[in-house]
Structure 1
């Protein structure tokens, strides 16, 4: 089985849906009264939107960050979201915790598949 990953031209859909969904997550998931979790979602949304807008890709507005670096930032953001899920103010709120776990898994998966998709065709990963 070959994993082809996410093509650069399709990654934009993940980026520009992730940021607004993370920003709206406290309201959508019902933890808007949890100020630390709400503010942390805002930071994650703002950072994801910022480095998306600064990526060297068709969708980037200010083309500063190479696409592969962007994918690594997605992975790092996913890892940080999983760490954030363990913070006391987030861990104690089931809805917030589960949202941050979902954010973390999303970042890890999308970032990893984007790195794989950025590789040359002959370098597919076989499982």
Structure 2
């Protein structure tokens, strides 16, 4: 059931990306490790593809919403399992898992069509 409007999803995208980028410093794993860089890269990536998504908060509307949602799901899944893939599960895993699972769920509940553009 897709109940989340794309406008709200867009706002969450930018906040999610900024929050994920900040987590290494907020939670004490800004040590130059894989855990830090995965958080920064995934957060920045989400912001970048949000900027080019064809929804209300996209700046350059190139990427269709269904493609954006597929990116959210795939990146979320990879972020969820990244502590084990990149070997930092003993350092931190809950943060990456939480952000990743949130991304997957958001991709499944967001509407696939933005509101009509108003002139």
**Interval of TM-score (by shorter of Structure 1 and Structure 2):** 0.7 to 0.9
- Runs of 4+ in structure 1 over 2 Å off: none
- CA–CA distance in structure 2, aligned partners of residues 26 and 78 of structure 1: 18
Is residue 49 of structure 1 aligned with residue 47 of structure 2? yes
In structure 2, what is the equivalent of residue 13 of structure 1?
11
Aligned pair 1:106/2:102, yes or no?
Answer: yes
CA distance in 1, matches of 2:2, 2:71: 20
Larger radius of gyration: 1
The answer to whether the Cα contact below 8 Å between 2:79 and 2:99 also exists between their aligned partners in 1 is yes
Match for residue 118 of structure 1? 112
5+ residue gaps, structure 2, are 114-119
Paired residue for 1:124? none
User: How far did residue 21 of structure 1 move?
Assistant: 0.4
Please tell me the root mean square deviation across aligned C-alpha atoms, in Å: 1.6
Which of 88, 93, 96 does residue 97 from structure 1 map onto? 93
What whole-Å deviation, never above 9, does each CA across 1:44-83 have from its counterpart, x for those lacking one?
0111011100001121111110011111111111101012
* 1:87, distance to aligned residue in structure 2 (A): 3.0
Residue-by-residue CA offset, 1:61-115 (whole Å, 9 max, x unaligned):
111100111111111111010120213532111xx2111110111111111111x
What is the TM-score of this pair, normalised by structure 1? 0.81
Out of 36, 39, 57, the residue aligned to residue 37 of structure 2 is 39
Q: What's the offset of the Cα at 1:42? A: 1.1
Aligned residues: 113
Contact residue 14 and residue 110 of structure 1 kept, 8 A: no
TM-score (norm 2): 0.86
